[in-house]
Each structure stands twice: as structure tokens, then as C-alpha cells.
Structure 1
């Protein structure tokens, strides 16, 4: 078992440019301190600098990091592409083992909308490295976990509404942040 009955675990999955990182940042901004962000891109690309492959080391490190944060009393957001065929077993075990409230969300955004959203990113270096062709190669339509754990949020839900919804559905809107 991991975390406490008071901790919240939020899993945000979806394709590139679907809004996962923006929603995670919005949750932290709305909630305040005591909300850990475990981003797949950070763990995989920055910490380990590895490719996203089945059985890759980042899967275990994401799991260990999320469990550590929950055990330390942090509400925790795990976000990333987190392809179902590679990450489902780890994510489902994490949800099953968590003592508190756990909610999983899949951001369902079409490939066309993905390309439009990607083009609006402000990081010129990232845009030069990640092309529309990359996005097409990485895109998986409705890559849902087969366990049925996820709530689908479609492209029509704006950032503010998505953050507000997740805050409400996880009960974070009723919890005071700790000043750590």
C-alpha cells in the first residue's frame, strides 16, 4: 500500500500537445504547495535520457517517484503519453496500491488538433526538434487503459474547465495545501 487516505493520485494521459502538462501546471497553480508533478518527459528524456520502449527504466522510476511522493504525504500528478501497452501494468498497480483517492484521465484530442496545438508552443528549439512527422508517428487514437479506469476529457474542454473539473472530482478543491 502507498500514500495515505488523505493523499490524491491523478494520472493524466494523452497524445503530445493534448494539454497534459498544461493541466498539471494548472492543478499545481490552483492547489499550491504539496502537489508533486511526475512528468514522463522529465523522467525519461531529462533524468534518464532514454527512448520510450517497452520495459524501459523510466517506467519503474516513474512508479518509484510517484510512490515516494505519496508516501511523503504529497498529492501526486503523473502525466505523460504513457502508452497503454507499455505503462498500463505500472499505472494500474499504482492506483490499486494507493490508499487515497485516485483518478485517471485520458485527454482525447484528434491528430489535427494535436498539430494545431503543437504549433502554438513558445519553445522554438522544441518546435525545431519535434516536427509534425514526429507527432504523426507518436499519435495513438484513444489509447485507453483496458481496465476502464480513465475518464475521457475531450478537446472541447478548455484548460480552466479541465483543471476545475479535476480539482472537484479528486476533492483537491476541498483540501488545504501544506506549506512545506
Structure 2
């Protein structure tokens, strides 16, 4: 394990479906650049595992947190995002945070049900669900209850939320610890060509 000062940053972004967590997480990772892994619950559970989130003996909670732990141990900063409902994922996510030797920042996007439906309908790639289905999934203020967890209200703009998480988590100033871009010859060549242009 890396010592705390050298260990990468773990950022967890949670919230109900349609709260904006995926869009926010993708923008934070885009702004950070290489050296930051983005782990999306929906992609891993729905696409890779094709596991229902209500089935017995779920693999997804362990699979997702194992992937995050592997990336962290390999020097990647990690953004983990998803509904990550406390009843099903809480123990796994809390364990991930507890064993991580570096900084961890946890955010819950607290958005009302009506606003989650509005945001869902405005998505560039909406998933095929009805408001009735979304209501069945909706759980108000489903926080993890870990120290330092920050609740972001729905009044926070997209830009404000991205800036808040980037700066409060420390990612805005965190150096990359992976070979890309720190020691990668291809990244060095790209940086050199950009600097000379």
C-alpha cells in the first residue's frame, strides 16, 4: 500500500437516477485528464454483468469496489459513481473507503423526484424507463453516513457541482501517479508537440 501522501484520491458520487451524477463524474474526469479512472455502476452492473439490481446474491457490489480498489492500488485516482443504494452497496463502498490509505471524498447529489424526472427527460441518451419506474427506485437522502460526506443540493448548478467536487476532493491539484501521463513516452511526445505549436 502507498503511504497517505502518495496514495491517489478516491471520489464517490452517489444519488438517485436522473440526479446528474454520471454527467458530473464524466466532466470531472474529462477536466482531470489521464491518470483518473471513472468507474460507473450502471456500465458494470447492467452492461458487463447484466445483473438485475434486485436479484439475490449480487456480484455487482464486490465487483465494482474490487475494480475501484485495483485502480487505486495501481496509482489511479478513482471516481466511483452510481446510485449505489445503501441497502445493497453500502457495506462494500464503506469498506472501500475505510481501507483506502489516501484521501476519500464522498458526495450525495440530493435531487427531488420531480427534478430527477425532468433531468432524465433532458438526457442526451435517456435510458428507457418511465417516471413510475423511477419512482419505484427513488430513495430520498440515501447517504452512506461516512465522515465528511457532503450533500449537494439540487440548486447547485452543473458547473458549481463539478467545481465543488474537483476542488474539495483535491483532484484539481492532484498530480497524476500513473505512467499515463507521468512517465508515458506517448504522453511526453504529445505534450512536447502541443508546447511547440
TM-score w.r.t. length of structure 2: 0.84
Which residue matches 2:53?
52
1:134 alignment partner, SS class: helix
Gaps of 5+ in 2: 185-197
Gaps of 5+ in 1: none
Aligned equivalents of 1:3, 1:96: Cα separation in 2: 14
Which residue matches 2:98?
96
TM-score w.r.t. length of structure 1: 0.91
Which residue matches 2:84?
82
Greater radius of gyration (CA): 2
Aligned length: 177
Q: How does 1:13-162 map to 2 (within 5 A)?
A: 13-53=14-54, 55-123=57-125, 126=127, 129-162=128-161
Deviation at 1:55, TM superposition (A): 4.0
* CA spacing shift, 1:108–1:167, aligned 2, 3 Å: same
* CA spacing shift, 1:132–1:39, aligned 2, 3 Å: same
Aligned equivalents of 1:39, 1:142: Cα separation in 2: 20
Deviation at 1:118, TM superposition (A): 0.7
